[in-house]
Each structure stands twice: as C-alpha cells, then as structure tokens.
Chain A
Amino acid sequence: MLSLDTIMSKNTKVPWRIIEGEAVLVKVDSGEVIHLNEVAAEIWRIIDGKKSISEIIDHIHNHFEVGREQAKKDTLEFFQSLSEKNLIIEKVSE
C-alpha cells in the first residue's frame, strides 16, 4: 500500500515523452498508449526515485490551483493507478 513517505521511480521500460505539457507513455507489453493530462504529466516528470509522494503533493499544490487536500487525494489515486499498471516501481530503501 502506498503511503505519503513512499518513494517511487519510473519503470525504465516505459518509453515516454512530454509534448506541449502533456505526456504520452507506451506500455510495451500490452501495446497500450497512455496519455496524461498536464497535471499528471507534471507528476510523471518529477518522479525520480528520490522525492517522496508527500513532496510531490507539495509540488502539485504549489504549482496548480488546487487545495492541499484535493491534491493529496488525487495524487495518491494517480500513484495507485500508475503502480497497478506497472508504470512505476517502489524504491526500496537500503
């Protein structure tokens, strides 16, 4: 289960690009092309295996016109779906 302290990194096997602020990801095993809107693309961009989910929520709260609670709820949900699709991988601390 994801918590606010979890640190995630991108699955390196997912080809992606950010185009005009929006992101396009390719899920190679299923051939699925996934499109992320501006906010989701920004989250995807800053997932780096270093920032915790909590820090990412702060970033979104600061950069978009969204309340902290709403940002928290949406970001956690988004992380959950990325994780289910195996697009991100939890970073296990040594």
Chain B
Amino acid sequence: MCGEIRTEDKRTHAYLRSKFIHFLSRQKKTDFVIEIDRHFASFPNQFLPCLSFKQGKFQILPEDNSQISIGTIDLKGKRAKISDFEDKSRLSHSILLCFALFLENAGRIILHASAAFKNGSGCLFPGPANAGKSTILRQLKDFSPLAEEWVAVKKEKNEFFMWSIPYQNTPNRKKKVQKIFFLKKGKIVTSKRLKPHDAAKRLLANCLFSTMHTETVRGVLERTAELAEKAPCFELEFPLNVWLDEELENSEFPEEKWKLRGRTNLPKGLDISGLHESLILTWECNLHCHHCRPYLPQDGTLSFDAVKRHLNTLVRKGSLFLHFTGGEPLVHKDFWKIASSAGQRNFALILHTNGTLITPDVGEKLKNLNFTQVVLTVLGGKAQAHDSITGVKGSFKKTISALKILKEKNMDVVLATTKLNENQDEIPGIKKLAKNHGAAFKIIPYQIPDKGEFEEFSRCYLKNFQES
C-alpha cells in the first residue's frame, strides 16, 4: 500500500517536506491520495482533530462533536481532503488519521509504539507518552530503530509484519514482528512473559482507533487479539544506561538470568522484578580509576544503623539478592557487621569489589558469610593496562590474587569490565583471564558521568536512607 499527499500551497509543501517527504512525489502506484488545500482559515484550538462517521461519510472534525468539518475521507474513492492546516500539529494529526483509516481498512492495526529491528525482524515497544519508547531505542546497540511513535502491523501468511508511520510499503522498511515488549522503568533488567489476554488488553490500550465506525473498530479489535495471541509478549523492566540487546534476544527464557551457576527451575510466570537490590555502602574507594573516581561525591557513607533499618524494609519487600557496591564496599568500616546482619536476614549476598582488599583471611570470611557471588572489576588483561587506569601500581596483582583466593574456595566469581578508550584491546585478555580461572565474564556499559548528577543522586540516596 502506498499513499500520496498533494498540495498546491508552497508553505504547506515546505512543512510537509520535513515530515512526509516520501509521500509528496507522484507515486507510480497509489493506493490513496490525501489532498490539502487552503480553504478554511484556521482557528485556535487546543484539541487534536478527530474522525467521525456521520451519514455514511467520514469527516475530520476540529474536535469531538464539532459542527464544522475540516476534511473528508472517501474510503471507496481512496481520496481524502484536508482544509485546515495553519496549525502544524493539527495538520500532522489529520494526515495521521487519514493514513490510519486507510490502513485500518486494509487489514492493518496502528499502534502507538516504537520499534527496532535487526536484519529482517524486530521488536515492538508499545506504550503511552513517557513510557520509554524512545529511550529504549538508545539502549540498543545491535538493533536499528524502525519507528519512534507510530507503527502499522499487518498479518501476512501467518506472520505479522510492521512498518513505521508515516507509512511506506517498501521491502526494506517491512520487518517481521518477533516479540512485543511493554516497557516499565525500573532498577534491574527483567522481563516476564505476558498471558495473551493481558497482552491484548495492553495492546488495545495503545491501539489507534481512528474512528468509531463499527466495521473499522471490529477489524482492529480482531486483529489486535490475534496479534496478542500469536506474538510473544513481555513486560520489560529496565533501568537507564544499560544495553538491552541481550534481554530482547533471550527473553524467551526469562529464568536464564537467575542462573548464577548451574540449573534453575524458576517458572516463567513468577514476578521476580523485586528480588534484586543494590546497596551503595560508601562512595569511598582505595583506587583512583580516572573514569570513575573524579565523578564520585566527596563523602557519603551509610551508617550501620541506617543499613540495618533498610534491610528490614527490603525483607518485607521480598528482596532476595543483595548487591553490595560503592565506591569500594570493603573499605566501609562496618562491612562485616552489615554482611552478617544481611546474612541473618536470609539474603543471597553479592559483592561488587575491585578485589584489592581480598586477602586469604578476607576470602575465608566471605566464604563463611555465604556470599553467593563476588564480582571483581578488571580493566585490563595485563598489569600495565589495568594499573594505568586504576592509578594504583600493583592493583592488578592484588585483584588477580583475589580471583585465585576466591576460586580456591570454590566461590562463584565474575570478572566485570567497562569498555573505555584505553582498554578496547584488553577485552579478549580479560575474557581469557576469566576463562583460565573458571570465572564468568561480563561487560558493564559505561556512560560518562555528570558530576552534578552524581552528587544529586548521592544526596537523594542518603536522604532516602534516613527516611526509610
């Protein structure tokens, strides 16, 4: 299907060029035509135009129940006329309504959604304004954006395909719908599969019904229900500043990420979003990594009492995995008191550390306190590369010694790194280190921190603690 927009007015043409350029030129084969002329003077109106079906005719009204019509659509004749265009946002919306009506009547549904693709297929992210539709597109490195705001979906031979709107049916812009994600901003990345009827409800809430015309509405309803049933739908909870590609691809098996090591039998339907919790024990650190330290606030250490109170809250909330992080959590003077207090509350403890303070004694204590996992930050595969980033000579040696100590005690260790300009070539070396020592490996995405933002975060974080 292909639509064409025609106008004689130069100013209108200039505006349309920015948004609808593909539709302004004469098309070889046109399925419908939208004509815009300057017949009516515009009048100020805070409402967006709507489409009404009255006396067998589709009319664009400046607002609901209005007596004046600013456009007509002739479905059979495949022709639409819009006569009010002084207000740009209303003109775009009128055009969108025309597209929507033609597309809906040609077997498509229009979703308020963004979409991203890789090769020939991709994911749909429906949601209202501020749901994170545009945000998620920036958190994907392997997927390319297809649409930011509106998406048309159609079933063809038992598969669903999507196009961005303004709509253009060219082979390179047609992508198969693989999965649908409803977005939720949160603290950790987690996705849960939705049952078809829940997915249908959510899809319908984000479906554009261009008009109350019974047959059009019926068609949209039927196709939406079928989409919800056939396409795997998930709720995706995600924090900012993390890559989400892996989650999109692996979301068929949401239990996978609970695999600390070994097998897991967590069911797909269980809501596990609240299980992970991070505690920044202190901003202090014994290393001087240039991509981190300068941006950390000067002070900010949680007191033992504040942490203890907070742990009780987390128990009530149902958190299970407790990540100790910082700064360097091991420099906190009450670290062992805090860890043992958390252990008594049946948390699964995870320590994020640079490892430099892990001596055989410390390793023994971590083992005895039943730490589930220790995440060691390694920034280079060799001492020189690592130490030049941490700013402390000998830090690599200490971290690797920690890795050996923990592995000797048969503990679960992850080597985590951050990709920086300086260590681009070091990643394979770090991977190899992990492999050689029987540790897992992961890359933590890095974004240049804003010092003010960090301090504001710290202030809010500490304040919340005092209140909790």
**A and B: bona fide binding partners:** yes
- Tell me, rounded to whole Å, the shortest Cβ–Cβ distance linking B274 to chain A: 7
> Interface residue count for A (Cβ, 8 Å)?
20
Residues of A within 8 A of B373 (CB): 31
* CB-CB under 8 A for A34 and B271, given A15-B320, A18-B318, A24-B320: no
Contact with B along A47-59 (1 / 0, CB 8 A): 0000000000000
Whether the pair A19, B266 counts as a contact (CB closer than 8 A) is no
Q: Which of A16, A19, A24, A30 contacts B261 (CB 8 A)?
A: A30
Q: A1-31: which residues lie under 8 A (CB-CB) from chain B?
A: 13-20, 22, 24, 26-31
* CB-CB under 8 A for A24 and B266, given A16-B320, A17-B320, A33-B259: yes
B44 within 8 A of A: no
Whether the pair A35, B261 counts as a contact (CB closer than 8 A) is no
B267 within 8 A of A: yes
Contact with A along B372-384 (1 / 0, CB 8 A): 1100000000000
Chain B residue at minimal CB-CB distance from A26: B348
Whether the pair B348, A30 counts as a contact (CB closer than 8 A) is no
Contact with A along B260-286 (1 / 0, CB 8 A): 111111110011101100000000000
A84 within 8 A of B: no
Q: Which of B274, B346, B372 contacts A19 (CB 8 A)?
A: B274
Whether the pair B259, A31 counts as a contact (CB closer than 8 A) is yes
- Tell me, rounded to whole Å, the shortest Cβ–Cβ distance linking B144 to chain A: 35
Whether the pair A17, B318 counts as a contact (CB closer than 8 A) is yes
Residues of A within 8 A of B274 (CB): 19
Chain B residue at minimal CB-CB distance from A37: B267
Chain A residue at minimal CB-CB distance from B258: A33
Whether the pair B262, A32 counts as a contact (CB closer than 8 A) is yes
B412 within 8 A of A: yes
Residues of B within 8 A of A28 (CB): 348, 370-372
- Tell me, rounded to whole Å, the shortest Cβ–Cβ distance linking B87 to chain A: 50
Whether the pair B372, A24 counts as a contact (CB closer than 8 A) is no
Chain B residue at minimal CB-CB distance from A30: B262
Whether the pair A19, B259 counts as a contact (CB closer than 8 A) is no
Contact with A along B147-180 (1 / 0, CB 8 A): 0000000000000000000000000000000000
In the complex, A81→B9 CA distance in Å? 79
Residues of A within 8 A of B371 (CB): 28
Whether the pair B260, A31 counts as a contact (CB closer than 8 A) is yes
Whether the pair A32, B264 counts as a contact (CB closer than 8 A) is yes
Q: Which of A27, A28, A35 has the most CB of B within 10 A?
A: A28
Q: Which of B267, B346, B349, B372 contacts A17 (CB 8 A)?
A: B346
B181 within 8 A of A: no
In the complex, A22→B265 CA distance in Å? 13
Whether the pair A35, B372 counts as a contact (CB closer than 8 A) is no
In the complex, A13→B271 CA distance in Å? 24
B319 within 8 A of A: yes
Q: Which of B259, B266, B270, B372 contacts A15 (CB 8 A)?
A: B372
Q: Which of A20, A26, A27 contacts B320 (CB 8 A)?
A: A26
Residues of A within 8 A of B347 (CB): 15
- Tell me, rounded to whole Å, the shortest Cβ–Cβ distance linking A39 to chain B: 15
Chain B residue at minimal CB-CB distance from A24: B320
In the complex, A34→B373 CA distance in Å? 17
In the complex, A28→B261 CA distance in Å? 9
Residues of B within 8 A of A20 (CB): 270-271
In the complex, A26→B349 CA distance in Å? 10
Residues of A within 8 A of B259 (CB): 31, 33
Residues of A within 8 A of B370 (CB): 13, 15, 28
In the complex, A32→B373 CA distance in Å? 12
In the complex, A22→B318 CA distance in Å? 11
- Tell me, rounded to whole Å, the shortest Cβ–Cβ distance linking B259 to chain A: 7
In the complex, A64→B347 CA distance in Å? 29
* CB-CB under 8 A for A33 and B346, given A19-B270, A22-B270, A26-B320: no
Q: Closest 8 A-B residue pairs measured CB to CB?
A: A31-B261, A31-B260, A15-B348, A17-B320, A26-B348, A33-B264, A30-B262, A33-B258
Q: 6 pairs across A/B with beta carbons < 8 Å?
A: A15-B372, A20-B271, A24-B272, A31-B372, A31-B412, A35-B266
10 new A-B pairs (CB below 8 Å) besides A13-B370, A17-B275, A31-B260? A15-B349, A17-B319, A18-B318, A24-B266, A24-B270, A27-B262, A29-B410, A31-B261, A31-B262, A33-B258
